[in-house]
Structure 1
Amino acid sequence: MQCVAHRAVSGRLSVRITQITDDSREVGPGALFVAIPGTKHDGHHYIGTALAKGAVAVVGQRADLRLPAHVPYVLVSNSRRALAELACAFYDFPTQKLYTVGVTGTNGKTSVATLTAAVLGEAALSTTVHNALAYDSPYTTPGAVEIQRRAWEAVQAGRKHFVLEVSAHALSQERVHGIDFNVAIFTNLTHDHLDYYRTMEEYLRAKLKLFENLRPEARAIINGDDPSAPAFLQATRARVWTYGLSSRHDIWADQIELSPEGSRFTARTPAGAVPIETSLPGDFYIYNILAAIGVGIERRLALDVIKSRIEPVRQIEGRCERYCTRDGVFIWIDFAHSPDSLEKMLRTLKHFYPRVISVFGCGGESDPYKRPIMGEISGRLADYTIITSDNPKGEDPQEITRQIESGIRPLGVSYEVIVDRPSAILRALELARPGDCVLIAGKGHERTQIFSDREIEFNDREFLRAVGII
């Protein structure tokens, strides 16, 4: 317990710990159970269950508990932070033995993490990447124990690098506390998660924590074109590079050529210039690639090596997946689920195709304020919009679509509402003519659809394959 700042200790501390968890369902013999007061459940209410299943010690932040005299109880001020500190110690501080990269921002985290892993040598099994695609997890960033376990497994496997998506929730909930980051990347900050954060300023403060905690010798790689960049520059003690699409940045793109099949540009960096040809389309992917190049340069990789590792990344699952039907209709599948990401996708597609049909919904039990905003964006930019369901979870899918519809209705544009997602996709393809583009947005790589009473297998791409469209 020397690694944890505690207020009081009771019981006998000389017990052997074989497991650390904050989930009473996962407790086994020899476990240390950390009781966390959550947003829906208070872990202190499950201490009895944990002890009955074999827990031998408890950490919590309530001073009024009465536990059996022989059970060690460590009273702390912040159970979430204590869990992270205990996990670091239990797994012998694995991120100190790995070159660790954290990626945060509203959009682009998964793509930047994937590209960074490629640059650092994923193909050579030197890198462990933990992002939305790597593990079957409902969270962008897993809990503190799982992160440390994954990092420890990377060390045991002889890996050299560890790349991690870092969500605002993870920062607020101390999931990444204690991680020794060598590099932190900021992609952008736009409207999202305002169900959890009361204001954009509060959301920004959560993101800043990653940079505030960097060591002076670490490297911060910041999207200098984002309006929030000055706050990140001011927040960190680390060495800084900015990236963007103009020469005022340390890493920037010149001679840009965009097409539906990808992009060409010259990356200009502190290490020199390198031409890049990528099948990842849109200027947002140029930003993502520049960030990954920055990690490679910081790791002292030669530019030709960085180029040789980035260019083979032809597609990232659920991100700008492109298909063409037998009838000549172009289908794009993308995870765009925030106002900014949907707007960027639609603006990109409008440059390439004469007519764009948008199919999207919004998730339940999350930021309801973005729903009419996304409706307005699709109505303004798409030639036709079909509003459908995403993951409604515990909410009424029809109520979610009504909220989206409230943003598009005042525009007087063409749209319809089809709550059933497969039917909405088929309707869009029925309306599409040769040369048109259908954007299926919101779920991307996800393989299930979650309702209040069930979770079904569903993936946009696999559905299209099953009905013989692609």
Structure 2
Amino acid sequence: MNLCIDSRKVQEGDMFFCIDGSALDGHDFAEQAVDNGAKVIIYEHDMPMKDQEGVIYIKVPSTLDALNEAAASLNGWPSKHLTMFGVTGTNGKSSISYLISKIYTKYKGECGYLGTIGGQMEGKKYDVPLTTPDIIPLQRTLEEMRRDGAEAASIEVSSHGLIQKRVGAVDFDYAIFTNLTREHLDYFKNMENYFQAKSLFFRNLKPTAVAMVNIDDPYGKRIEELCTGKFMSYAIEQPADYMAKDIVYSPEGMSFTLVHEGKEYPVTTNLQVTYNLYNLLAVAGTLDQAGLNLEDVIREFEYIPSIPGRMDEIRFGQDYRVIVDYAHTDDSYNKLLHYVRHDLPGIKRIITVSGAPGKRDAGNREIFGHYFSQYCDYSILTEEDCRDEAPKKVADEIAAGMKDGYPHEYIENRAEAIQAAVDMAQPGDIVLVLGKGAEKYLDGTTGKRYWEGDDVSARKAVQNRLEREK
């Protein structure tokens, strides 16, 4: 018997769960599920019931809770057999989750990763269409990883995943909070609702679970009051369980001193930007709590291979720099652009390529434009998941936030925009391609279509220019 929440996909003998979603109510499709062969219908409020032999109707207080229990049970409760790491927050989830999986695998045992970059474990890929997969594929994938030899799993936990109870039957051992800045306000309406969604992660931890929380973020301090697990902190600006001081930036990366329990550990890394320093503190603290040797973890920071689409520098020996980054919120734009302008030595002009998503919080578009004109020298605006909005309209709203006279242009085709930015770069300039990272699609007015990824497109653009200049 399979579990199903989409009546169109029901097959003979399946169990259908009537999920009351944000757009559709599964109770309205129970009869269709029966027509397609469902033999068990799980529901939570009154609805028409088709009287058909062999069909059982079971009423429960919450169909989401019931689905969590059923999906976990059907797969043998995989999270109870794995060391589970979960990362939530606006920015940093992918980098932290990914690094935890890689370092844990090297020093302790196979650790799978699930998140924006996809689902993966050493040498294996898993199909995960969402940052935090829906209940059924999440439990199935965790069990596949366990069967493939995983001893642990590190997953991104999105606000939508929390509010929709996708991780309701995942037994987390470590929960990390990165930060909370403006995002998804089209869905949550205000920051307090957004925080309450994130806080669900920490309100439901088992007592033995460890929460690793950024207390430089004001929302991080609030988590301590409601956390049901063991509260641990990391910070740069104030005392914390894991903190950084003596920070030095260079073109090659950064160095700092990590302080824990009165002991100081020198750290050097090829990663750049202050937000990556926070990410490293979170990784170090969490893996230390998980039993890894802190000095081993720090040693891994010295050279971290590019995380797909995250501060991914394109290097072919050219005399200008090109960096692809997934930055897509006003906070991540501010921090990245401030770093490049004020902390990264040797930079002449900053050229950006970016857009903004359609059918999302439109209030941040002018903020993007403000930051471009505050920190940068030239911006090319382009398409970026405009959905049912005209990409030029989105670009105009970004431009409305720019200072008068700030030089910019609009090139709708994203690949052409990236090529144009690379072609105008002069020695000492830096081109920042922002927003999509390694994502392999663009969501336009006709739906999703294949996109090679900003990282691939930027590499091609640099190679094209080098070829022309031979």
**Same fold by TM-score, threshold 0.5 exceeded?**
yes
Instruction: Quote the sequence identity (%).
Output: 32
Equivalent pairs, count: 452
Structure 2 match to 1:75 = 59
Q: What whole-Å deviation, never above 9, does each CA across 1:135-154 have from its counterpart, x for those lacking one?
A: 35442111011111122223
Instruction: Output aligned runs, 1:332-351, within 5 Å.
Output: 332-350=323-341, 351=343
1:361 partnered with 2:361: no
Per-residue CA deviation, residues 34-59 of structure 1 (Å, 9 max, x unaligned), is 12232333323333443344322111
- 1:297 and 2:288 are equivalent in the alignment: yes
Q: C-alpha displacement at 1:305, in angstroms?
A: 2.4
Structure 2 equivalent of residue 438 of structure 1: 431
Question: What residue number does 2:18 align with?
Answer: 35
Secondary structure of the residue aligned to 2:362 is coil
Q: 1:269 aligns with which of 260, 267, 273?
A: 260
Once the two structures are superposed, the pairs formed by residues 232-311 of structure 1 within 5 Å of their partners are 232-246=223-237, 248-270=239-261, 272-311=263-302
Do the aligned partners of residues 122 and 24 (structure 1) sit closer, same or farther apart at CA in structure 2, a change above 3 Å counting?
farther
Q: Deviations over 1:406-456 (max 9, x none)?
A: 222x54422222222122222222332111001000000101212121413
- In structure 2, C-alpha distance between the alignment counterparts of 1:395 and 1:271, rounded to whole Å: 54
After TM superposition, give the deviation of residue 179 of structure 1 in Å. 1.5
How far is 1:106 from its partner? 0.2
Determine the structure 2 residue equivalent to 1:197: 188
Q: CA deviation at 1:164?
A: 1.1
Q: What residue number does 1:15 align with?
A: none
Q: Is the contact between residue 449 and residue 458 of structure 1 (CA under 8 Å) also seen in structure 2?
A: no
1:57 aligns with 2:46: no
Amino acid in structure 1 at the alignment position of 2:22: T
Partner of residue 213, structure 2: 222
1:109 aligns with 2:85: no
Of 402, 426, 440, the residue aligned with 1:447 is 440
| Distance change >3 Å, CA 403–CA 253, structure 1 → 2 | same
C-alpha change, 1:246 and 1:343, in structure 2 (3 Å) is closer
Structure 1 residues 391 and 274, CA gap change in structure 2 (3 angstroms) = same
Indicate conservation of the 8 Å contact 2:418/2:457, yes or no.
no
Task: Quote how far apart the aligned CAs of 1:342 are.
Answer: 1.1
Q: Structure 2 residue aligned with 1:383, among 368, 377, 380?
A: 377
Given that 1:394 and 1:451 are in contact with CA atoms closer than 8 Å, whether structure 2 keeps it comes out as yes
User: Cα distance, 1:225 vs. partner?
Assistant: 0.8
Q: Measure how far apart 1:91 and its partner are.
A: 1.8
Secondary structure of 1:318's match?
coil
2:19, 2:25 within 8 Å by CA — same for their partners in 1? yes
Counterpart Cα distance in 1 of 2:450 and 2:295:
45
Q: What corresponds to 2:122 in structure 1?
A: none
Residues 395-404 or 323-332, more deviating? 323-332
Amino acid at match of 1:73: Y
Matching of residues 120-139 of structure 1 within 5 Å = 120-121=104-105, 126-135=110-119, 136-139=127-130
How far off its partner does 1:167 sit?
0.5
Structure 2 residue runs without a partner (length 5+):
120-126
| Closer/same/farther in 2, CA of residues 53 and 100 from structure 1, 3 Å limit | same
Tell me the distance in 2 between the aligned counterparts of 1:56 and 1:375.
Answer: 55
- 2:413 maps to what in 1? 420
CA distance in 2, matches of 1:30, 1:269: 56
**Counterpart AA for 1:62:** H
| 202-211 or 30-39: bigger deviation | 30-39
The answer (yes or no) to whether the contact 1:119–1:293 under 8 Å persists in 2 is no
2:82–2:153 contact (8 Å) kept in structure 1: yes
Q: Do residues 174 (structure 1) and 165 (structure 2) align? A: yes
**Match in the other structure for 2:2:** 19
TM-score (norm 2): 0.91
Matches of 1:446 and 1:153 in 2, distance apart? 24
Q: Closer, same or farther in 2 for the Cα pair 1:258/1:32, shift >3 Å?
A: same
| TM-score, normalised with respect to structure 1 | 0.91
Cα distance, 1:269 vs. partner?
1.9
1:143 paired with 2:120, answer no
Q: How far did 1:316 drift?
A: 0.5
Find the residue that maps to 1:195 and give its secondary structure: helix
- Listed as ranges, the gaps of 5+ residues in structure 1 are 1-17
Q: State the alpha-carbon separation in 2 of the partners of residues 411 and 457 from structure 1.
A: 33
User: Which SS does the other structure have where 1:322 is aligned?
Assistant: strand
1:329 pairs with 2:293:
no
Structure 2 counterpart of 1:395 = 389
Letter in 2 for 1:232: I
Instruction: Give, in angstroms, the shift of residue 329 of structure 1.
Output: 1.7
By how many angstroms is 1:28 displaced? 3.1
CA separation in 1, counterparts of 2:14 and 2:303? Answer: 44
Q: Distance in 1 between matches of 2:133 and 2:251?
A: 34
Choose 32-41 or 22-31, whichever is displaced more. 22-31
Structure 1 residues 86, 45: closer, same or farther in 2, change over 3 A?
same
Any conservation in 2 of the 1:118–1:309 contact (CA below 8 Å)?
A: no
SS of the aligned residue for 1:113 comes to helix
